[in-house]
Copies of this chain bind each other. A is one copy, B any other.
Amino acid sequence: MQFELTKDYIDELKELISREDNKETLKKVKNLHPADIAEIVRELDPQESRYLYNLLDNETSADVLVEMEEDERERFIEEMPVEILVQKVIDNMESDDAADFLGELSAEKQEEVLQKIQDIEQAGDIADLLSYDEHTAGGLMAKELIKVNEEWDIAKCIREIRKQAKEVHEFYQIYVVDDDNMLKGIVSFKKLLTGRASTLIRNILKSDIISAKTDTSSEEVAIIMKKYDIVSLPVVDAIGRLVGRITIDDIVDVIQEEAEKDYQLISGITEDVEPTDKVILLTRARLPWLIIGLIGGILGSWVISMHESEIRIAPEMALFIPLIGAMAGNAGVQSSSIVVQGIAAGIIDLQGITGKLFKELYVAMINGIILSALIFVYSLFFSDSFELTITVSVALFSVILFASLFGTFVPLILQRLKIDPALATGPFITTINDIIGLSIYLALGRLMYGIFT
């Protein structure tokens, strides 16, 4: 039922292309979904893929381009004459895809393309969409939608939908507007199909519906559509006129990207990479985090070197250096990630910062007491030095307390400063926690050994 890309398939296709067998090549990809063709294109050499692409009909080639990864798409478009681009691609795209697509081009090329579009209305729609920030509802929405007037009856409504449907690729919702194009509500297929021909739309519309404004952020759009299970969300302008709609498949991409971005930050990857990417890209995405880790390690070595005399006197102090570092990092990341997920889910703004810090204080104190009791008992039995036992237990408690509060505080502050709070789960904070944890441990050690010896 579903296409599976195999090495055999690619080999056969390459063979057909090398023989320039247009008919058989086209037959091979004929009934495939554009997403599958985009995947095939990825596996071919540039020449082969261009050959295959040129064989496709206009609508399919537009769809395939939409499904491609951004960098591949750029490669493709670069050498395409503007006329072909407009005829083969833009004319066959929904306005939101066309706008996304043009958004990737240089300003000059954008203008050139817009001027070549025959249909003035389409060109206008695309130009409108290009003016919105891509991270807002305006940047996500498409202009194509089905709308009916609240004064119409069902019979007229169905006639009009028939007309409008010719222009729209696919639709899941019928919007109702008044004479001024103000959004009044939606009318369901069910109501249209089960009502009488003479019933007025205003009598069957559902009026208390949820909509977004053009400047609503894409994160908020995602939260709204998820929360209320909305398949197609209407977008209105500042005074409430219907200007577009966002479908759930666009939001699935937003949700996915948000989650991936947070995951990358916490795992220390700086770019969007996949295991199939090139070695150089994979290296570049990972080196920055590692270098920050290295600098953190060097700072850690300074902290230790300031206590070198102490370690010379009590080398057993070295034993728990890894433990303190690891625990500081872990406790901090746990706290930060809970806050980051809360912010992403849109549930964090109900309480103030103080309340959250107090709660975190309780959690940290319970964890700290349990863990330092454990290490106290362990060290009491297995270490010869009572000073060390006291030092590591007190240090562990302090470190967990500090790292938890710091880990909660930082993402909240970043959020207030309009900086991505997920940065707090990344290398900087972990490194700071490590170093401060180490300092607490060694300073306590100095105190202890100073007192007892």
Interfacial residues, chain A to chain B (CB-CB below 8 A)? 1-2, 5, 31, 33, 35, 158, 161-162, 165-166, 168, 170-172, 188-190, 193-194, 208, 210-211, 224-231, 247-249, 251-253, 255-256, 259-260, 262-264, 266-269, 273-276, 279, 282-283, 286-287, 289-291, 293-294, 296-298, 300-301, 304-305, 308, 311-312, 315-316, 318-327, 329-331, 333-334, 336-339, 341-342, 345, 347-348, 350-351, 356, 359, 362-363, 366-367, 370-371, 374-375, 378, 400, 425, 427, 431, 434, 438
Contact = CB atoms under 8 A, between A and B. Distances in A.
Nearest to A67: B227
Contacts of A356: 275
A267 B322 contact: no
Contacts of A260: 259, 341
A378 B308 contact: no
B290 A338 contact: no
A300 B326 CA distance: 10
Given A297-B323, A311-B315, 11 more contacts: A189-B189, A252-B255, A263-B341, A266-B266, A275-B348, A276-B351, A289-B334, A294-B323, A294-B374, A298-B323, A330-B427
B294 A371 contact: yes
A249 B229 contact: yes
A267 B337 contact: yes
A434 B327 CA distance: 12
B304 A318 contact: yes
